[in-house]
Amino acid sequence: MRNHDWHGGDYPAAGDAWAHAADDVTATALAALDPTGTSGAGTKTTTDATGTTVTGATAAAPATARVLDVGTGSGPAALAAARAGAHVVGLDLEPGLLRTAVSRARGLGPTDGTVRFVAGDARALPFPAGAFDLTLSTFGVMFAPEPARTGAELVRVTRPGGLIAVASWTPGGVMGRIAPTVRRHLGPEPDGTPSPTDWGDPSRIRSWFAELPVTVHTRVERVRVRYPSLSHAVAAFENKPGPLRRHRTALEAAHRWQHARADLAALFALHNRSADGDLVFDAVYLLLLARVGIPSRTPPGPLTGRPDAVDRPAARAPRGSTAH
């Protein structure tokens, strides 16, 4: 998602450490999209960007599945869906992130699906209604302004019976606490200022989707994040595109950045699960699965793990209508 916060910097240096979460979210969503199990989803063992062996779900797309990845960033979810055989569009407003995604897509094999990347705004997606079977976002739309409008756009471009899957950092998890830890050195924000971690709050999600033709379910998940050292992680985050860089610029001007940086290091140290000199923590995120146009209380396909919250079906528009 683009504003000046996301221009420049080195996103992969930080973001590759949790990019494997996109594999799990994509596999879960594709399995839920095809609950009969004919897509062939299973388990996998891979190596993440830090060289760590990771075991998780494999993604296999139903034939001709059309997938949109909103706020694609460097493209991990879009590429996961394409590797599963889907026809994929990855969308973001930041050209630098899209260039990284395009570069990474060049490694796809001839038996994979297709993937292309386009510039666009999550608040006004440049696609017709019902264009996609599955609309994804892994830690992307949470940074878009106007979350209710963004949610309506996700619903609009997803076909009736299709699925929306959104992963967002929770307010109380370590990733959700990074910006507030730094931001408090600037003083309180104005009342009503939206936070990206609002997407990690089930009650907020219920309010945004309440009048849309969707059945919403949420649950808490975790992704293991690793860096070579605590100092490496702090350096990666202070140079990562996003709101933190704006806070850093303001704090440097006020000669307060070193204090905020020390608090950021303390936050990571508090959650560190390793005693070997590296930094390892479990980042908590909320997974939203929303079925479009299905008035059933049945969860959208097989869900594993204990739900954080299973929401009542939202109010629905008349059959055949679309939400805008």
How far apart CA 67 and CA 232 sit, in angstroms, is 35
Domain locations in the chain as residue ranges: 4-292
With both helix axes pointing from N to C terminus, report the angle between 174-183 and 257-271 in degrees, rounded to the nearest 10: 160
Query: Do residues 182 and 266 touch, judged by C-beta distance below 8 A?
Result: no
Integer CA distances (angstroms), 75 to 106, 140, 142, in order: 12, 10, 16
Residues contacting 39, CB < 8 A, separation 6+: 30, 31, 33, 60, 61, 62, 84
Residues 61-74 pLDDT 10s: 666 799 999 999 99
Of 148-152, 193-197, 269-273, 314-318, the least confident: 314-318
Question: What's the pTM?
Answer: 0.83
51 — pLDDT class (breaks 50, 70, 90): very low
Q: What is the pLDDT of residues 289-304, one digit of tens each?
A: 999 995 444 444 444 3
Rounded to 5 degrees, φ, ψ at 175 are: -70, -35
| 76-116 pLDDT per residue, tens | 999 999 999 999 999 999 999 999 999 999 988 887 889 99
pLDDT band (50, 70, 90) for residue 50: very low
pLDDT at residue number 302: 43
The whole-number average pLDDT for the span 115-138 is 97
Q: Identify the pLDDT of residue 241.
A: 82
Q: How far is CA 278 from CA 88, 259, 267, in A?
A: 36, 22, 15
Summarised one tens digit per residue, pLDDT across range 185-222 is 988 777 677 899 999 999 999 999 999 999 999 999 99
**Chain centroid offset of residue 176 CA:** 13
Which of 307 and 4 is assigned the larger pLDDT? 4
Cα angle 43, 48, 54; round to 5: 35
Assign domain 4-292 one CATH number from 3.30.70.20, 3.30.1050.10, 3.40.50.150, 3.90.1310.10: 3.40.50.150
Task: Specify the amino acid at residue 121.
Answer: D
Work out the pLDDT band at 47, boundaries 50, 70, 90: very low
User: At residue 42, does pLDDT exceed 50?
Assistant: no
Which secondary-structure segment (H or E) carries 161? strand 158-169
Q: How many CB atoms lie within 10 A of CB 185?
A: 17
Whether 118 and 51 have beta carbons less than 8 Å apart is answered as no
Q: What is the pLDDT of residue 112?
A: 86
Q: How confident is the model at residue 242 (pLDDT cuts 50, 70, 90)?
A: confident
The C-alpha angle with vertex 203 and arms to 200 and 206, in degrees rounded to 5, equals 100
d(CA 172, CA 187): 20
Least confident of 110-119, 299-308, 314-323: 314-323
DSSP result, 263-304: HHHHHHHHH---SSSSEEEEEEEEEEEEEET----S-SS---
Q: What is residue 136's predicted lDDT score, i.e. its pLDDT?
A: 97
Please give the helix or strand (H or E) that residue 154 lies within, else none. helix 147-156
Buried b / exposed e along 71-92 (16+ C-beta atoms within 10 A): bbbbbbbbbbbbbbbbbbbbbb
